[in-house]
Amino acid sequence: MRSGFVCIAGRPNVGKSTLLNSLIGEKVAITADKPQTTRNRIRGIYSGEGIQVVFIDTPGITRAKNKLGEYMAEAALGAFADVDLILFITCEKPGEKGGDRFILDRLAGTKIPKIAVINKIDTMSPDEFRDVYEAYEETGLFNEVAGISALTGHGVERLMENISAYIGEGPAFFPEGMITDRPERFLASEIIREKALRYLGDEVPHGVAIEIESFEEKPSLTRISAVIYIEKKSHKAIVIGKGGRKLKGIGKAAREEIEDLLGCKVYLSLWVKVREKWRDSDLALASLGYGGRD
Ligand SMILES: Nc1nc2c(ncn2[C@@H]2O[C@H](COP(=O)(O)OP(=O)(O)OP(=O)(O)O)[C@@H](O)[C@H]2O)c(=O)[nH]1
Ligand SMILES: [Mg+2]
């Protein structure tokens, strides 16, 4: 048996969580076309013939603007320790974005094997891809460079084969069939946050947090009550929408996906509450699941 840990890191919005889901073959992490979607370390477990790989999806690395940002940066950078391999996900040439340079410096300081994974190649011309590919080879920082589209799945199977080569002997850490160590309650709150991110414009998302107030499982029905926290009073009307339409849309989309996850009917009630500056309050962060060690 072989087993190991692989960290997925990079700037926000480059497709780390999409890649995690593609590698596992199921949705473990939420994704959105907005930076800083992932806020915690999310472990996704790949079990194959004689091999188990635990992938750790991390928040996009960027300059922290508040305590939530500090927690996210620690969740990401701290995940480099004790892994067998780091996948650095990118969509551009090295150093094209300041944030990349910061991460590359950190990567240069570790001896852990690394693969530079160029994602979103479905949006690049062959020439563009070759330029980016060669630029990463030239850094001399990476054991290999790969090109994939996490969205279409192009190149992901081959990447998995390449990853396996870095995994040594070890026991299975999780039972077969388990795809994440996060509990259903956490997954449900993330699904609600994903729907909120997708339904809301750019002004609100960063200040959104979800708290599951109750989660009652009965054989045929699960009752979930959750609060969508926002930072500003003025955002409340935006989240609720005209005649409550936006909130209803978020609730319906979330409920359907949670029903798929749990395999039973779900009754979901959503409330919108204002909690000013929660992203800078240790107490609020801890109660919303962004405190302590991951
Ligand atoms: N065209 C294209 N879009 C992609 C690809 N992979 C991811 N995306 C899109 O890029 C956006 C960001 O994807 P995520 O997986 O949430 O990115 P992330 O790196 O996890 O982002 P953070 O959690 O915010 O750091 C989403 O809209 C994805 O659908 C890809 O291969 N091609
Ligand atoms: Mg993510």
Query: pLDDT per residue over 205-239, tens digit each?
Result: 789 999 999 999 988 899 999 999 999 999 999 99
Determine which residue's CA is closest to atom 11 belonging to ligand 1.
33
Query: Is 188's pLDDT higher than 80?
Result: yes
Cα 17 to middle of ligand 2, angstroms = 4
Residue 31 CA, closest ligand 1 atom number: 16
Test site for ligand 1: of 17, 18, 72, 77, most ligand atoms within 8 A of the Cβ: 18
Fold of 2-164: Rossmann fold (3.40.50)
Query: Is 164's pLDDT higher than 90?
Result: yes
Cα 89 to middle of ligand 2, angstroms = 11
In CATH terms, the superfamily for domain 184-287 is: K homology (KH) domain (3.30.300.20)
Query: Is 265's pLDDT higher than 90?
Result: yes
Q: Which of these ranges, 24-33, 70-79, 96-105, has the smallest mean pLDDT?
A: 96-105
Q: Is 110 in the pocket of ligand 1 (CB under 6 A)?
A: no
**What is the band of 48 on the pLDDT scale with cuts at 50, 70, 90?**
very high
Q: Is 21 in the pocket of ligand 1 (CB under 6 A)?
A: no
**What is the band of 294 on the pLDDT scale with cuts at 50, 70, 90?**
low
Query: Is 203's pLDDT higher than 80?
Result: no
Q: Is 176 in the pocket of ligand 1 (CB under 6 A)?
A: no
**What is the band of 99 on the pLDDT scale with cuts at 50, 70, 90?**
confident
Three-state secondary structure string covering the chain: CEEEEEEEEECCCCCHHHHHHHHHCCCCCCCCCCCCCCCCCEEEEEEECCEEEEEEECCCCCCCCCHHHHHHHHHHHHHHCCCCEEEEEECCCCCCCHHHHHHHHHHHCCCCCEEEEECCHHHCCHHHHHHHHHHHHHHCCCCEEEECCCCCCCCHHHHHHHHHCCCCECCCCCCCCCCECCCHHHHHHHHHHHHHHHHCCCCCHHHCEEEEEEEEECCCEEEEEEEEEECCHHHHHHHHCHHHHHHHHHHHHHHHHHHHHHCCEEEEEEEEEECCCHHHCHHHHHHCCCCCCC
Average pLDDT in the chain: 95
Ligand that lies nearest to the alpha carbon of residue 31, given by its number in the listed order = 1
- What are the start and end residues of each CATH 3.40.50.300 domain in the chain? 2-164
- What are the start and end residues of each CATH 3.30.300.20 domain in the chain? 184-287
